[in-house]
Structure 1
Amino acid sequence: MKEIIAMHGWAGDSNQWSNWEQIFKCYEWEWRNYERGYTALSPHIPKWNHNSNQVKLKRVAICHSLGSHLIDKQVLYSATHVVLINSFSRFIPSGKENRPIKLALNRMMDAINTPNEASMLRKFHVKAYKPNHIDADSIESNLINISDLGRVKLKKDLKLLIDSDSLPIGLNTLANVLIVNSEEDNILANQTKAKLAEDLRKHLKFLPKIINLQDEGHSITKIKNIKKIKHWLEFDHAKNMV
């Protein structure tokens, strides 16, 4: 049995997984989306369909960015495989890179539920997709449909991102972990990426695998790269002991 639960990141929604879901379902994967509910989409917390006693079971948690900290902890703990897409343990670097990042995050926090909110979110989405294109209509749709409860979650989750300083709670030490880094990511600092890899090596029984994508930004859009991740999930059998 092969099943996936996918968790989007801050200010995103489950629609970002439409291409992923289509590709994986063609190869007989069961796919379910976690929905935080920032916009008009109803919040949804999926659960695994199959129990851990089944032979050749793969339960995969795919998390984008802050999604690894937002996903249900029991879902994460029960995952046999975890894919961390441009994710982090500590978002704000501990070195001299941190001051401009802190200032930018605080400006984003202050903009929520003000006349500057739409402009801030629009800039964030464009920056997250660079160097790739994001459809302007989809951005505007998300900006218009943010709910009052969604704004509360935006603030709460941005604070979680700012305060993050360790691996997501619930990550099983026996999980097989794939780190996916985009080399043209305009959101994560290089020190942040290195910190995640370091923390995972200390935490996991098996060394994490790292894939670096040269032609992607913070959000993964290219079909060929989605298929690279699928290939790892289907054919990664060797485990390197720490």
Structure 2
Amino acid sequence: MQVIAMHGWCGDHRNWAPFADQARSRGWSWQSPDRGYGPCQPMAPAWPGEGRRVLIAHSLGPHLLPAELLGQADAVVLLASFGRFVPQGPGGRRLRAALAGMARELKGAHVEAMLQTFLQEAAAPQAISQLPSTILEAPLTAAGRQRLQQDLASLQATAGLPAGFPSDGPCLVVEAELDRIVLPEARQQLRLALPEADRIELAGCGHALLSEGLVDRVIGWIEQL
């Protein structure tokens, strides 16, 4: 088994450590690429070896991967993810305005405060202190800020499942009951796009999926492939 795990916007590869430990203990090949927003160096994804190819992706993660690599996955796990992020209608208009404000903040002097607020919303209802690590542990670089800007624009432009998505293979969709980042409309659209997917809803969890049992449930699903 070979696994690639891709973080989402404002994340990095360090948060995959519990998953990586479980995968490697089973002899699986593991890779967690990084966009290089914060203190971690950028690392491009590539399937590392032989065996069934499983992709795990959080939030914007699947949209950050090359279509060719995504299309080579035999199975996909989507964690608090989406196809189209900004739904149509009034809710979508409000969200688009909020994203435009975030884009302006990324060009300004108070970018760290905006990112701190985003991370608080992602962690909620748990405290931000419960996040294992964040990109704000070191000052943002110009390159990191630029990547955040590029990927925020990509998020705004999402219109459905990303190019190359293997929609005919096994898929597990994990939703957060109290997600403050991915709107209910976007979650419903993902359900409609992947009607055959297995589903887990984590009660009492927000977008960061701070649930003690999550790793075991995801790894257990992969083991059954």
Identify the TM-score tier after normalising by the shorter chain: over 0.9
1:218 aligns with 2:217: no
The residue correspondences of 1:67-78 to structure 2 (distance < 5 A) are: 67-78=61-72
Identify which range, 128-137 or 214-223, moves more after superposition.
128-137
**How many angstroms apart in 2 are the aligned matches of 1:19 and 1:132?**
19
Amino acid at match of 1:80: D
The residue correspondences of 1:1-242 to structure 2 (distance < 5 A) are: 2-51=1-50, 57-135=51-129, 138-139=133-134, 142=136, 144-201=138-195, 207-236=196-225
Q: Deviations over 1:138-164 (max 9, x none)?
A: 44x626332211111111111111111
**How many angstroms apart in 2 are the aligned matches of 1:137 and 1:233?**
23
Amino acid at match of 1:26: S
Per chain length, whose mean CA-contact separation is higher, i.e. which structure has more relative contact order (CA < 8 Å, sep 6+)? 2
Kindly indicate whether the alpha-carbon contact (under 8 Å) linking 1:118 and 1:143 is maintained by their aligned counterparts in 2: no
Moved over 3 A (4+): 136-139
CA deviation after TM superposition for structure 1 residue 194, in Å: 0.7
CA deviation after TM superposition for structure 1 residue 58, in Å: 2.2
Structure of greater Rg: 1
CA deviation after TM superposition for structure 1 residue 87, in Å: 0.8
CA deviation after TM superposition for structure 1 residue 28, in Å: 2.4
Amino acid at match of 1:219: A
Kindly indicate whether the alpha-carbon contact (under 8 Å) linking 2:39 and 2:137 is maintained by their aligned counterparts in 1: no
Q: CA RMSD in A?
A: 1.8
Q: Deviations over 1:173-229 (max 9, x none)?
A: 43211111010111111110010121234xxxxx21111111321112323111111
TM-score (norm 2): 0.92
**How many angstroms apart in 1 are the aligned matches of 2:133 and 2:56?**
22
CA deviation after TM superposition for structure 1 residue 171, in Å: 0.9
Amino acid at match of 1:194: Q
Kindly indicate whether the alpha-carbon contact (under 8 Å) linking 1:34 and 1:71 is maintained by their aligned counterparts in 2: no
> Which residues of structure 1 form unaligned runs of 5+?
52-56, 202-206, 237-242
1:240 aligns with none
